[in-house]
A and B are shown apart, each in its own frame.
Chain A
Amino acid sequence: GENVEQHPSTLSVQEGDSAVIKCTYSDSASNYFPWYKQELGKRPQLIIDIRSNVGEKKDQRIAVTLNKTAKHFSLHITETQPEDSAVYFCAASTGSNYKLTFGKGTLLTVNP
């Protein structure tokens, strides 16, 4: 089955800096890669996603890149703010069953 590795497990940045979180996946059939943000005790919230037919997608301060050949994708957050502090999860899915396989998560701390 699919396996998703996520790095780093923790990331601490200064407010205004950029943050990058990287994930690799194992199943070449995976074609959908969402990113979720989870605040303590809250639900995972979909923040951005990318399909396998696209190399990059941007939404204001967040962007995701996908390298299908290398089977890795990354989340980029620019101009970080304290409210960006949360656990971020990457996930992968194939079109055949739609289940999401999640990475272990990255605890992002943005220091004011």
Chain B
Amino acid sequence: DSGVTQTPKHLITATGQRVTLRCSPRSGDLSVYWYQQSLDQGLQFLIHYYNGEERAKGNILERFSAQQFPDLHSELNLSSLELGDSALYFCASSERTSGSKSYEQYFGPGTRLTVT
């Protein structure tokens, strides 16, 4: 157990719908990263938040957005869902953005999204 939690574990929804995925980082971790894992694209970085602020964006679609709240949990919002958005969505957390522990990212169990 990495200490990172994600809810829900599974989500089945229809095309055009909107869903929210939730992530709670390890106690004390200030950074949250979101990744998408699909069979064709592999593991891809979406977005990084540090202590409530967006720090970096990857290949995140405009239909997707995220935020990190004052209690440090993060939510990933996916809207106008398409079949191709079906994937495993992982969040990861790390301690800080400087120092020796800043690089290590610990992944949560993931949310499996199925769009029908």
Query: Does A105 contact B42, Cβ atoms closer than 8 Å?
Result: yes
Give the A-B pair count, Cβ closer than 8 A: 59
Query: Does A43 contact B2, Cβ atoms closer than 8 Å?
Result: yes
Query: Does B97 contact A43, Cβ atoms closer than 8 Å?
Result: no
Query: Does B45 contact A100, Cβ atoms closer than 8 Å?
Result: yes
Query: Does B2 contact A100, Cβ atoms closer than 8 Å?
Result: no
Question: In the complex, which range does the number of interface residues on chain B fall in?
Answer: 20 to 34
* Interface-facing stretch out of B13-21, B65-73, B76-84, B103-111: B103-111
Task: Please measure, in the bound complex, the distance between the C-alpha atom of A100 and the C-alpha atom of B97, giving whole angstroms.
Answer: 14
Listed in ascending order, the chain B residues whose CB lies under 8 Å from chain A are 2, 31, 33, 35, 42-45, 48, 55-56, 58, 90, 94, 97, 102-110
Q: Which 7 A-B pairs have the closest CB atoms?
A: A97-B56, A102-B43, A99-B45, A43-B107, A32-B103, A44-B107, A104-B42
